[in-house]
Amino acid sequence: MPTATEWAHAVLTAALQRAAAGPFDPDGTLTEGARAGVRAVLEQAEEDGPAHDWDAMSEADWASFAADDWRPHKLLRGPRKGQQVWKNERTGAISDVDPRQKAKEREEAVSGRKKKAEEAAQALVAAAKEKAKEKERGKSAVGEMIRGERPATAVAVRAAGQRLLAMTRAELVALKRQLQVKGGWGKKQKLVQAILAQALAGVAGPKKTAAAPARAGAARRVVADDRSADLAALTFLQLKDMASRNNLGTLGTKAQLIDRLTRAGFGKQAQAQEAARKKAAADEAARVANEPKFERGQPIDLGRLRARLARVPDSPLLPGMHSERLQAEMTRILDEAAADHGEQKVHGMTSPEKMQGVTVGHVKVSWPEGHKGTASALLAIAQQDYPPPLWNATKQVVITSQANGGDEYWQRKYKDFTTSAATGSDGTVCVYGGGHLGRGTFAHESGHNLATAIWGETNPPPASAYAQAQKTEKPVSEYGANSPAEDFAEACKMYADTKTLGLGLSGHDTLRRDFPKKYAALDDIMTGRVRPSPEDVTEFD
């Protein structure tokens, strides 16, 4: 088709040809002859319909595309009169390219993107499997060195250490217990160091080096003093750490470190700590045995649950272990109270799944048999003081092993979306893939439930105070930028986050400082000044 410049040139030429005395009258307007020439050119420019812009088609346009709407057509007017094209019988649009070819190209492009996404997902799975294998190789190598089944060379220890660093802290703690390694509590690096130190020492293995009897004899001579007997029970790494913290130097053998610490008066201190540690363990065993049990199948009172969790001690002798003790306690509670919940199918679940569960307060919680993350999910629900409207908006939590069947839709709709962790909107929170339900996730999904309870939908309506605030304030997070509904849910998550953990402002304070209008609108809801509708909206969107 001619360009705009070519059409302009044709118009001007026609005007000049039709006006021999010049195209303009004395007053500067086109003469009648010039206007007739322009009209003739413009009439020639009109074709049988507007040109169809394939590049401007949206996802919705492609979803409603029908190749049968297009028919071969010969142009009846315009500069390309007589040329063969395709015409849409529904819209009248003209295309120079066969629409079926365009549809085929589109299908190939979509198929290519899907294939790349599948390949990327397969690569992630393969990488995860390889990472798991590396962990197992590290665990196996360290275990063999500790048992004396493999030489503890520097190269072997270094290689095993790199593999152990890929493990989580919880996995390292479990490995320490399995291998009966003492000491090394604290950070992940300390756990790895303790395990590797025992591998180098080979203390649990039957094989001993030629120097081992000499070292053992030296140790016996040093610990002959009663004050140092308790120090001998500690590992070399523990002794080294104690000496370092008290500026006594870290060089030397285990016997030399014991001697140095004993002369500095630390023998009695270590002995007292060991006695206190044993007493704490005995007290904890007695507490567990005497705790009143929850009845199977009966609702768990939230106040009683919190009181029982509050009685779990945080021992200063075992720093970093309190969260593990809480999870162990919650696991015992679930074993006491869990009952059959039958088959469940909610939100994006593609098929019913047999579950068990408990009711905590007014919230029914269901999970597949054998799911290991339920204790942490219940802790997220039980330990946080959520604002009452947010807490009351959620009636059920379902933890499924399935993925969200609607993920493909959300991948098209949301920026950088991969898979759903959880969904909410109808009073239920569904957690996918057997995933972890943290406090933030529970607050976010409960925010969707709260929006539905107030407005009958997850998007704040235009007349609401929150929607008005959205007009002048940016989204509260990158994920919140996906939609007004996600922005509201993210704001609910920030509002419920009142703990700073020593890292500066809490999410609640950040929302109040950076988004004052949204905070004010949300505060009206959370404090009861704006009350939810009494109607139950149960349809999931």
Backbone angles phi, psi at 132, to 5 degrees: -65, -40
Task: Quote the Cα angle for 248-249-254, to 5°.
Answer: 100
8 A C-beta contact, residue 359 and residue 374: no
At residue 357, the 3 state secondary structure works out as strand
At residue 67, the 3 state secondary structure works out as helix
Is residue 35 exposed (0-12), middle (13-18) or buried (19+ Cβ within 10 Å)?
middle
Taking the alpha carbons at both ends of the chain, their separation in whole angstroms is 47
Greatest Cα pair distance, the chain, in angstroms, is: 128
Residue type, 108: E
CA distance 487 to 501: 24
Residue 362 carries which DSSP code? T
8 A C-beta contact, residue 55 and residue 62: no
Instruction: Please name the residue ranges forming H helices in 225-318.
Output: 229-232, 236-245, 254-263, 267-290, 302-310
Distance (Å) of CA 235 to CA 58, 150, 527: 67, 21, 55
> Tokens 């849910």 belong to which residue?
489
pLDDT score, position 420: 85
pTM higher than 0.85 for the full model?
no
Write out the two tokens for 296: 């199977």
305-526 in CATH: which number? 3.40.390
> Tokens 């812009």 belong to which residue?
53
pLDDT score, position 342: 92
pLDDT score, position 464: 92
DSSP one-letter string for 177-240? HHHT-----SSHHHHHHHHHHHHHHTTTSS---TTHHHHHHHHHHHTTSGGGHHHHTS-HHHHH
pLDDT score, position 43: 54
CA 352 to the chain's CA centroid = 25
Residue type, 150: R
At residue 329, the 3 state secondary structure works out as helix
Quick count: other Cβ atoms within 10 Å of Cβ 111?
10
Backbone angles phi, psi at 226, to 5 degrees: -55, -30
> Tokens 């604290």 belong to which residue?
186
Q: For the chain, 541 residues long, give each residue's pLDDT as a single digit of tens.
A: 455 445 555 555 655 555 555 556 666 666 676 666 656 555 555 566 778 888 888 877 787 788 788 888 888 877 778 888 888 887 888 888 888 888 888 888 888 888 888 888 888 888 888 877 877 777 777 767 666 666 656 566 667 766 777 777 777 777 777 666 666 556 666 677 777 776 666 533 333 344 444 433 333 333 333 344 456 667 777 777 777 766 777 777 877 777 777 766 665 555 666 677 778 778 888 888 888 899 998 999 988 988 888 888 875 544 445 677 788 888 888 889 999 999 999 999 999 999 999 999 899 999 888 776 677 778 777 777 889 999 999 999 999 988 898 888 888 888 878 888 899 999 999 999 887 788 888 999 999 999 999 999 999 999 999 999 999 999 999 989 999 999 999 999 999 988 754 456 788 999 999 999 999 999 999 998 766 444 433 333 3
Q: What sign does the dihedral 368-373-374-380 (CA atoms) show?
A: negative
CA 54 to the chain's CA centroid = 37
CA distance 17 to 133: 84
Is residue 112 exposed (0-12), middle (13-18) or buried (19+ Cβ within 10 Å)?
exposed
CA distance 154 to 200: 8
- Please list, in sequence order, all residues whose beta carbon lies within 8 angstroms of the beta carbon of residue 112, skipping any fewer than 6 positions away: none
- Please list, in sequence order, all residues whose beta carbon lies within 8 angstroms of the beta carbon of residue 236, skipping any fewer than 6 positions away: 197, 201, 254, 257
pLDDT score, position 424: 94
pLDDT score, position 260: 75
pLDDT score, position 8: 54
Write out the two tokens for 421: 């962790």
Torsion, CA 480, CA 485, CA 490, CA 492, rounded to 10: 160
pLDDT score, position 474: 94
Quick count: other Cβ atoms within 10 Å of Cβ 232?
17
Listed residue (237, 173, 165, 230) closest to 199, CA to CA: 237
CA distance 117 to 137: 30
Domain boundaries defined on the chain:
4-54+65-102, 125-273, 305-526
